[in-house]
Amino acid sequence: MNPRGPLAGVRVLDFSTLLPGPLATLILAEAGAEVIKLERPGGEELRGYEPAFGSDSAQFAVLNAGKRSVVFDAKDPEGIERLRVLLESADVLVEQFRPGVMARLGLGYDDVHAINPRLVYCSINGFGSSGARAGLAAHDLNYVAESGLLALVAGSDGTPNLPPALIADIGGGALPAVINILLALRERDATGVGRRVEVAMSEAVLTFAPWALLTHAVSGAAPAPNTDRLNGGSPRYRVYRTADRRYLAVAPLEQRFWETFCEEIGLPHELRDHRNDPAATIDAVTAIVATRTADAWMTRFAGLDVCVTIVRDVGEARTDPVYAEHGVFAYQVEAAGERIAALPLPLDPGFRDGVFVKSAPALGEGNELLAAQTFEGRARRIGS
């Protein structure tokens, strides 16, 4: 294991708040990058969320552990000049404002590129930097709605179900940002020149709807809620309630898995080919699964390839012995003498910096980074 991580020596300026940008820079920090969080006077809003952990919120702590905090007052006429030392020495800048905000602050890509041509400048936004929706205020639910994903699964009255995860913020924002930043750094290392990369969450989240998009592309019609193979229309990909009012996630999509599943639950042979009447098969499987407890079914399926698991809550997942064996929650965040598990990240352990306990930065604790003493490091980076 590299004790410093593959991104050791990379300096990241993080102007983002809440989830998408901070999660992206957290991943970079865990891989060894130095992340400097630029916060407004008083700190970012997330510090005050509940539940509290130490002097800030648990959310702020886990998303910003291991970073530095520098207070930046955008209204200060000398603010940009004070940031120059950081801009000149940085490798990456991440911002999450609506299009045009950074330019109005004098921190647009052209402004920063003139100061540091090697900088990789990453913009995360909702709808891109141009077009009719570019300036629209929105959050994860709005991006998922705009992409068509929200319409794929609905309740019995036809109301779309709320997503169980922040799909656009993480899958359409943070993770694509990391991918594009790393690609741009690779290009910068070869050419000596950085670039601006943009992640529009409402567009990147479309990657999560391949079956639905392809159905529309081929047929010209969008899948109706609960009718497609992966959105509840197939008996092979559904959630079924058990006798003890728990639920099984049943996903034997491949024919060999489906045949084993049908045999084990005793599904009548005439219902196993569900192509003509999937609803009848769904009703039959629903009735059969409801006759046994979840544990009884899992005992029945033990050792078999049926792609069936119990729907667990988050508490059960956090105490899963397999997760513990793999060290999923081994990393910790510390505040005021207490520790909580850090957010699990999609990083191979060999790429992490090797520090298992970290703290979130106090507001402005890194303000000394603005001092002239950092010029030596700045000159080293620009000359590299």
Given the residues 91, 169, 228, 353, the one annotated as active site: 169
| 125, β-bridge pairs | 200
Q: 261: Cβ–Cβ under 8 A, 6 or more apart, which residues?
A: 250, 252, 267, 301, 306, 307, 308
Active site residue 169: yes
Q: 332: Cβ–Cβ under 8 A, 6 or more apart, which residues?
A: 339, 340, 341, 342, 356, 357, 358
Residue 375 pLDDT greater than 70, yes or no? no
The CATH code that applies to domain 11-207+326-383 is 3.40.50.10540
Separation of alpha carbons 213 and 199, rounded Å: 20
Active site residue 140: no
Specify the amino acid at residue 246.
R
In contact, 306 and 260? CB cutoff 8 Å = yes
User: pLDDT tier at 3 (50, 70, 90 boundaries)?
Assistant: low
Q: DSSP H helical segments within 99-148, as ranges?
A: 101-104, 109-115, 140-147
Specify the amino acid at residue 131.
G
Given the residues 113, 139, 216, 320, the one annotated as active site: 139
Separation of alpha carbons 333 and 2, rounded Å: 21
How do residues 268-285 score in pLDDT, each as one tens digit?
999 999 998 999 999 999
Q: CA angle 201-29-34, nearest 5°?
A: 115
Separation of alpha carbons 283 and 59, rounded Å: 42
Domain ranges of the chain: 11-207+326-383, 247-310
Residue 288 pLDDT greater than 90, yes or no? yes
Q: What is the pTM of this model?
A: 0.91
How do residues 212-236 score in pLDDT, each as one tens digit?
999 899 999 888 888 888 888 999 9
